[in-house]
Amino acid sequence: MGEYKDRVNYKPHNLNNYTVTVDGTEKAVGLEGFTVEFDDDHWGVNVVADGTAQHFKNNSRSGTITIQLQATSTTHKFMWDKYKANMESDTAFSVAILNSESEDFNAACPFAYVQKPPAEVGSQEVSVAEWVLSCAYLDCRGGSYAVQSV
């Protein structure tokens, strides 16, 4: 089992410490995991013909949030409703991710759109639906890191 180390203590890593809220009201049920990622590097390098180089800052804040949910969860149905609203009226929704055991961690996207709905899978086991959300402005800050327990 992994643990989080903050500035003072080791804390058990547990996905149940995360709260994913969609559209300000729907707390994710059946959460299997998530990924938060910026689309572009924040720093780049320009190299010119004579070999000199300079760093430049990319101010893009766009990114992607991927949420994995059990396909039988009520949040999965809620996401299908959000997808339908996206397609019919270009209606964006918000996504926020917090960790109750790491006050420094947060991720938020005030204007999310469904980039890709999940594939629907039929099997004897409960499948995991992966929702890929496009964020024009993504705010993400990590604060704790998982460490391997001995």
> Mind listing the pLDDT tens digit for each residue in 52-111?
888 877 777 788 999 999 988 999 999 999 999 888 988 899 999 988 877 777 889 999
pLDDT beyond 50 at 143: yes
Residue 93 lies in a domain: yes
Residue 30 lies in a domain: yes
The Cα 80–Cα 75 span in angstroms is: 9
Residue 28 lies in a domain: yes
Residue 48 lies in a domain: no
The Cα 116–Cα 94 span in angstroms is: 16
Residue 122 lies in a domain: yes
- CATH code for the domain in which residue 88 is found: 2.30.110
Residue 64 lies in a domain: yes
Q: Is the dihedral of CA 99, 126, 147, 8 positive or negative?
A: positive
- Where does residue 112 fall: left (phi above 0), alpha (psi -120 to 50 degrees), or beta otherwise? beta
pTM of this structure: 0.75
pLDDT beyond 70 at 149: no
Residue 114 lies in a domain: yes
Provide the domain count of the chain.
1
Enclosing domain of residue 107: 2-41+53-148
> What rounded mean pLDDT belongs to the chain?
81
Residue 46 lies in a domain: no
pLDDT beyond 60 at 39: yes
